[in-house]
Amino acid sequence: MIVNRTLSNGIRMVMEKLPAVQSVSIGIWVKAGSVDEKPANSGISHLIEHMMFKGTEKRSAKKIAEDVDRIGGHMNALTGKEATCYYIKTLHNNIDKACDIIIDMFLNSQFDPGELAKEKDVIYEEIKMIEDNPEDHANELLLEMVFHGTSLERPIIGTRESLEGISRDMILDYIAREYTTDSIVISVAGNFDEDHVYHLFYSMLPHEKTSKAKKNEANDIICSFLPGAGKRCGTEPYLHGDKRRTSRGQAVLSHGAPQQHCGRKYELPTFSENKGTEGVGIFGLFRIQLLRNGRDLQHLRGGGSF
């Protein structure tokens, strides 16, 4: 059974006890992603995710890794358009230590300027990897085209130019503004005592409530309702590409589709089967992989929605 509880500071907890397993997974979810960024700090959400692992007041980056290994755990993080998640998995009898590690990292990361410069270099290489992968790059170009004029058009990873301008002060300001208690959800699943975990987080987290400032909700409205983007997701075809001298190409085609709560959404599965796409959402995707010699044409069946 899933249990929902709220700490005194407004942080919500979602817990599910699974007695049959001998492990536990803990996730700290923050409603902050690339959609909350501006062109000048594009990529800051993802950069913060990286920097959270680079040392706290009482643990160096090496010590964080060693402490996780010592309890047989695995810790990682992910950044999306609308959320960032930090999570740790370990044996159920190590839950106290796991909570101490992830909360220390979440609350007390130092964001050392020297480590910040090193981590930017790591992300620059990640950007090159995306640009070198035709499928990843084609999808980024599609988002840039479809969501033109909104923060959804920008890549989660940011750009080299935007990352170069991000300072430690900008990171601290972003965290203060976006990592508010009303934007945080803690998820716990596995073999654990719900009351114990609840009081564990209650004792380790600040009790003060913080709230995120209300924003323009335009980014939550997509397709034809996008400000300034009507021509790009309406009836007029629009082409956006990046021509390179490579032996492989990638095409991503998007088409309008019924919204999630529209009654016509049930028509799309039939269309998808006929056209080689899958999924229901705002856009169905066609992915076509081409070899430059023109002899082979491979249709990658599969679609996406967002």
Active site residues: 49
Q: Do residues 48 and 175 lie in contact, with contact meaning Cβ atoms separated by under 8 Å? A: yes
- Environment class of residue 229 by beta-carbon count within 10 Å: exposed (0-12), middle (13-18) or buried (19+)? buried
Identify the sign of the CA torsion 288, 224, 78, 96.
Answer: negative
Structure tokens that stand for 49 in this block: 């995710």
Q: Is 107 in contact with 81 (CB distance < 8 Å)?
A: no
Q: DSSP letters of 128-175?
A: HHHHHSHHHHHHHHHHHHHTTTSGGGS-TT--HHHHHT--HHHHHHHH
SS (H, E, C) 181-197: HHHEEEEEEECCCHHHH
Q: Taking the alpha carbons of 219, 224, 228, 229 in that order, is the dihedral positive or negative?
A: positive
Amino acid letter for position 201: F
| Token reading at 217 | 């909700």
Q: Phi, psi at residue 151, to the nearest 5°?
A: -70, -15
